[in-house]
Amino acid sequence: MFTRILTSALFAGASAGLIASLLQLSFVQPVLLHAELYESGELVHFGAQAVSAHQDLGGFDAMRDGLSIFFTILIYSGYAFILVALMALADQRGAEITARNGLVWGVAGFVTVHLAPGVSLAPEVPGVAAADVYIRQVWWFATVACAGVALWLIAFGKSWVPWGIAAILLIAPHAIGAPEPDSFTGPVPTEIAALFAARAFGVGLAAWVLLGLFAGYFWEREGAREGVPQHS
Amino acid sequence: MATRTVQAEAQSSLLPIIFSAIIGIAVIFVSGHVQAGALHDAAHDVRHATGFPCH
């Protein structure tokens, strides 16, 4: 059992993480580097002169981008362990796990760890004003936990009671509100910040759908290899 | 017989599930959320791109 989880999670996490890191480097990193030109003061928004929206952002930085690839694979492997553990739990309780419905698991994972916290704590470009990082982390973990439980209840609940609890769990963190900064001090143009958040969500969704797909695929394959009886 | 094997496996296999989930959470916490200087700098770009609270 543990071997099956371990193998599926490692393969799924590494392959989805590698693709995620390439997508991030292609689509998110240039926006981040652009924002850093404003964060460092090299460019000034609303200064004396209008600033060109097209800047030289440099090419591939082996050290910096190499570390990013490493950490993206690590983070998606961490997600894969949680995802496959939950798939194993569902499998034990009679649910069928396949590559195809892994796609839906992936979307649910994206909603849980990206969209749910990101709705009130939007993916930030460097340099934005934000509340204390520890308080935001507590809110982030609490929101992810609520969303995870809520999606499980939506998927496997069989009456309006669990579905109602799920709705409350999804809404509550946002009704309570995420920690906000006292004042706005961000030097980065709103166009860049908005593009960054949109790109982060887009790449996150793509990566998670792939993670779900791979996790379902490897779970199914490893099960067949171990001779675990398949659901019909 | 087959049913009994499946049941026995179901009872004994909650532990690996919990263990795997804990590994996953630990990896996410260390790589995505610990604020120690070197770790923060190394994972900086990914933390922003993944939507984790950073700084």
The whole-number average pLDDT for the span A76-92 is 96
In a domain, B8, yes or no: no
In a domain, B1, yes or no: no
pLDDT category of residue B19 using cuts at 50, 70 and 90:
very high
In a domain, B4, yes or no: no
In a domain, B53, yes or no: yes
From the number of C-beta atoms within 10 Å of its C-beta (0-12, 13-18, 19+), residue A61 rates as: middle
Cα A226 to Cα A4: distance, rounded to the nearest angstrom: 8
Cα A69 to Cα B4: distance, rounded to the nearest angstrom: 46
- The verdict on A8 touching B (C-beta cutoff 8 Å) is no
In a domain, B5, yes or no: no
- The verdict on A117 touching B (C-beta cutoff 8 Å) is yes
Cα B34 to Cα B49: distance, rounded to the nearest angstrom: 16
In a domain, B3, yes or no: no
The CA-atom distances, in angstroms, between B38 and each of A38, B34, B41, B44 are 23, 10, 5, 10
In a domain, B50, yes or no: yes
pLDDT in tens, A121-159: 999 988 888 888 999 999 999 999 999 999 999 999 999
pLDDT in tens, A26-58: 999 999 999 999 988 888 888 777 888 888 888
Which one is predicted more confidently, A38 or A109?
A: A109
pLDDT category of residue B4 using cuts at 50, 70 and 90:
low
- The verdict on A227 touching B (C-beta cutoff 8 Å) is no
- The verdict on B20 touching A (C-beta cutoff 8 Å) is yes
Cα A58 to Cα A26: distance, rounded to the nearest angstrom: 13
Instruction: Kindly list the residues from chain B whose CB atom is less than 8 angstroms away from the CB atom of residue A84.
Output: 20
From the number of C-beta atoms within 10 Å of its C-beta (0-12, 13-18, 19+), residue A13 rates as: buried
In a domain, B19, yes or no: yes
Cα A84 to Cα B21: distance, rounded to the nearest angstrom: 8
The tokens describing A143, both together, are: 């929101």
Instruction: Kindly list the residues from chain B whose CB atom is less than 8 angstroms away from the CB atom of residue A80.
Output: 24
Provide the domain count of chain B.
1
pLDDT in tens, A151-190: 999 999 999 999 999 999 999 999 999 999 888 888 899 9
Instruction: Kindly list the residues from chain B whose CB atom is less than 8 angstroms away from the CB atom of residue A1.
Output: 9, 12-13, 16-17
Instruction: Kindly list the residues from chain B whose CB atom is less than 8 angstroms away from the CB atom of residue A72.
Output: 46, 49-50
pLDDT category of residue A89 using cuts at 50, 70 and 90:
very high
Q: Which range of residues forms the domain containing residue B33?
A: 14-55
Question: How high is the pLDDT of residue A42?
Answer: 84
Q: Are A172 and A146 in contact (CB under 8 A)?
A: yes
Q: What is this model's ipTM?
A: 0.88
Interface contacts (A, B; CB < 8 Å): 132
Domain range list for chain A: 2-121+190-226, 131-180
Cα B33 to Cα A137: distance, rounded to the nearest angstrom: 7
Cα A7 to Cα A219: distance, rounded to the nearest angstrom: 8
